[in-house]
């Protein structure tokens, strides 16, 4: 670490101390070669390590990854242009957009990425690129919810769902993005009315994570829950907490709005930092992650959907059936996130 400390002073010191506290790969104990790619990731090592290893094997470019469960935005703000990070990987358009708004990203262009990644899942100026997709769906109790009883997000707010809905905090990044997509679809007033009526339909105050909502359905506190698709796969295969298999078995996935605009889909994605010293190889890594072989591993390992067309799905993901996704550009949805967050307060969603 000595050499890099001399190079980046306090920044390297911060990096060194934080890297030690991460359970993931650390920067190692030598200065980084100029061609290395330095990656900050909120995506977990179990998911990223096989991919970065395969990338290194294919290209000879080493990847130094720091896993940051929390605090990536704050860390990049503190490090500024001295940040060693070339590239970030994170989930949800909200997180990518927050880095963009803080001026921490730079635009990169690539014909390969533009060809592989559908236009609604990348920033129009190349400031971020989606790499995997997850749909925000309705989890419905298999018996207590009749087929056809709930088919749209709008139905969550309908009178027949009174006291039957469970959802996590309205301020959580996933729900702010969902509400932002409702702003795009229904306008500000429509989205406010929806959020207000949904709040009135809740079986309990928003609490817990997505899986906790499905647990509440299993336990009979509510009949429907809102959650991301990959949690169904994670619960159904959970050997560490096998009770989650029962939660998963009690529900079916409903892809909302199939007869109209489609289901809200969010992404995990990558972006090149403004401070990147190795922009070219950072771009190579994003391109690698969008390739067919990487997409299969990347999406499958976490029960997500690949952004690249034609890549086989995990059999569990395939078992949920095909669906139509909302075509609205995520960059456009992201611009409505501040408003969506204010609407959550206006309707006292979490109170
Ligand atoms: Fe999640």
Rounded to the nearest angstrom, the distance between the alpha carbon of 174 and the centre of ligand 1 is 8
Spatial contact of 4 and 12, defined as CB atoms under 8 Å apart:
yes
Give the C-alpha separation, 151 to 174, whole Å: 20
Cα distances from 69 to residues 4, 331, 333, 351, in angstroms, run 24, 24, 25, 28
Rounded to the nearest angstrom, the distance between the alpha carbon of 232 and the centre of ligand 1 is 11
What local confidence, expressed as pLDDT, does residue 7 receive? Answer: 39
Pair of tokens at residue 80 = 């500024």
What local confidence, expressed as pLDDT, does residue 32 receive? Answer: 65
Per-residue pLDDT band for 9 (boundaries 50, 70, 90) equals: very low
Rounded to the nearest angstrom, the distance between the alpha carbon of 328 and the centre of ligand 1 is 21
What local confidence, expressed as pLDDT, does residue 219 receive? Answer: 98
CA angle 221, 233, 70 (to 5 degrees): 85
Q: Which residues contact 107 (CB under 8 A, 6 or more apart)?
A: 123, 125, 126, 127, 272
Rounded to the nearest angstrom, the distance between the alpha carbon of 305 and the centre of ligand 1 is 14
Q: Which helix (H) or strand (E) element contains residue 273?
A: strand 265-273
Give the C-alpha separation, 282 to 291, whole Å: 15
Spatial contact of 317 and 311, defined as CB atoms under 8 Å apart:
no
- Give the pairing type, strands 37-41 and 63-67: parallel
Q: Tell me the pLDDT tens digit for each residue of 212-256.
A: 999 999 999 999 999 999 999 999 999 999 999 999 999 999 999
Give the C-alpha separation, 322 to 258, whole Å: 10
Rounded to the nearest angstrom, the distance between the alpha carbon of 228 and the centre of ligand 1 is 7
Rounded to the nearest angstrom, the distance between the alpha carbon of 31 and the centre of ligand 1 is 34
Of the listed ranges 28-42, 72-86, 235-249, 296-310, the least confidently predicted one is 28-42
Domains observed in the chain: 33-133+265-312 (3.40.190.10), 134-264+329-346 (3.40.190.10)
What local confidence, expressed as pLDDT, does residue 299 receive? Answer: 87
What b/e readout covers 71-97, taking b as 16+ CB neighbours within 10 angstroms?
ebbebbeebeeebbbbbbbbbbbbbbb
- Give the pairing type, strands 265-273 and 305-306: unpaired
Spatial contact of 288 and 59, defined as CB atoms under 8 Å apart:
yes
More confident residue, 284 or 300: 284
Cβ of 205: how many Cβ atoms within 10 Å? 11
Rounded to the nearest angstrom, the distance between the alpha carbon of 229 and the centre of ligand 1 is 9
Please state the rounded mean pLDDT for residues 155-174.
98
Q: Is the pLDDT of residue 331 over 70?
A: yes
Rounded to the nearest angstrom, the distance between the alpha carbon of 211 and the centre of ligand 1 is 9
Spatial contact of 95 and 176, defined as CB atoms under 8 Å apart:
no
Give the C-alpha separation, 176 to 183, whole Å: 10
Q: Is the pLDDT of residue 340 over 70?
A: yes
Rounded to the nearest angstrom, the distance between the alpha carbon of 86 and the centre of ligand 1 is 24
DSSP H helical segments within the chain, as ranges? Answer: 2-8, 10-21, 45-59, 72-79, 93-101, 111-116, 173-201, 210-218, 230-236, 243-249, 279-289, 292-301, 315-319, 330-334, 337-346
Q: Is the pLDDT of residue 18 over 50?
A: no
Closest among 149, 210, 173 to 73, alpha carbons compared:
173
Rounded to the nearest angstrom, the distance between the alpha carbon of 177 and the centre of ligand 1 is 13
Task: Report the first-to-last Cα separation within the chain, whole angstroms.
Answer: 49
Q: Tell me the pLDDT tens digit for each residue of 82-105.
A: 999 999 999 999 999 999 999 999
Per-residue pLDDT band for 10 (boundaries 50, 70, 90) equals: very low
Rounded to the nearest angstrom, the distance between the alpha carbon of 296 and the centre of ligand 1 is 19
Closest among 201, 206, 210, 179 to 342, alpha carbons compared:
179
Per-residue pLDDT band for 34 (boundaries 50, 70, 90) equals: confident
Rounded to the nearest angstrom, the distance between the alpha carbon of 227 and the centre of ligand 1 is 9
Q: Is the pLDDT of residue 28 over 70?
A: no
Rounded to the nearest angstrom, the distance between the alpha carbon of 126 and the centre of ligand 1 is 24
Q: Is the pLDDT of residue 107 over 80?
A: yes
Q: Tell me the pLDDT tens digit for each residue of 114-151.
A: 999 999 999 999 999 999 999 999 999 999 999 999 99
Q: Which residues contact 219 (CB under 8 A, 6 or more apart)?
A: none
What local confidence, expressed as pLDDT, does residue 4 receive? Answer: 42
């Amino acid at each position: 670490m000595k050499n890099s400390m001399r190079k980046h002073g306090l920044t390297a010191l911060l990096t060194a101390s934080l890297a030690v506290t991460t359970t993931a790969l650390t920067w190692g104990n030598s200065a980084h070669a100029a061609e290395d790619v330095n990656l900050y990731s909120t995506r977990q090592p179990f998911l990223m390590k096989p991919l970065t290893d395969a990338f290194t094997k294919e290209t000879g470019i080493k990847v130094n990854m720091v896993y940051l469960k929390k605090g990536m935005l704050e860390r990049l703000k503190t490090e500024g242009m001295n940040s060693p990070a070339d590239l970030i990987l994170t989930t949800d358009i909200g997180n990518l957009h927050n880095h963009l708004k803080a001026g921490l990203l730079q635009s990169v262009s690539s014909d390969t990425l533009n060809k592989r990644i559908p236009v609604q899942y990348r920033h129009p100026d190349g400031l971020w690129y989606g790499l995997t997709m997850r749909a925000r769906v309705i989890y419905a109790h298999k018996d207590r919810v009749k087929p056809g009883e709930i088919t749209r997000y709008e139905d969550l707010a309908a009178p027949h769902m009174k006291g039957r809905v469970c959802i996590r905090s309205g301020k959580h990044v996933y729900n702010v993005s969902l509400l932002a997509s409702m702003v795009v679809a229904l306008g500000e007033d429509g989205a406010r009315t929806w959020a207000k009526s949904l709040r009135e339909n809740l079986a309990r105050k928003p609490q817990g994570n997505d899986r906790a909502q499905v647990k509440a359905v299993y336990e009979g506190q509510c009949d429907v829950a809102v959650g991301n698709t990959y949690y169904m796969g994670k619960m159904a295969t959970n050997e560490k907490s096998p009770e989650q298999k029962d939660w998963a078995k009690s529900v079916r996935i409903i892809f909302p709005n199939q007869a109209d605009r489609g289901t809200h889909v969010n992404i995990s994605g990558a972006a090149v930092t403004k401070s990147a010293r190795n922009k070219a190889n950072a771009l190579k890594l994003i391109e690698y992650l969008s390739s067919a072989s990487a997409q299969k591993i990347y999406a499958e390992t976490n029960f997500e959907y690949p952004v690249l067309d034609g890549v086989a799905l995990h059999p569990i993901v395939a078992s949920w059936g095909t669906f139509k996704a909302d075509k609205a550009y995520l960059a456009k949805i992201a611009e409505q996130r501040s408003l969506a967050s204010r609407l959550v307060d206006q309707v006292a969603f979490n109170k």
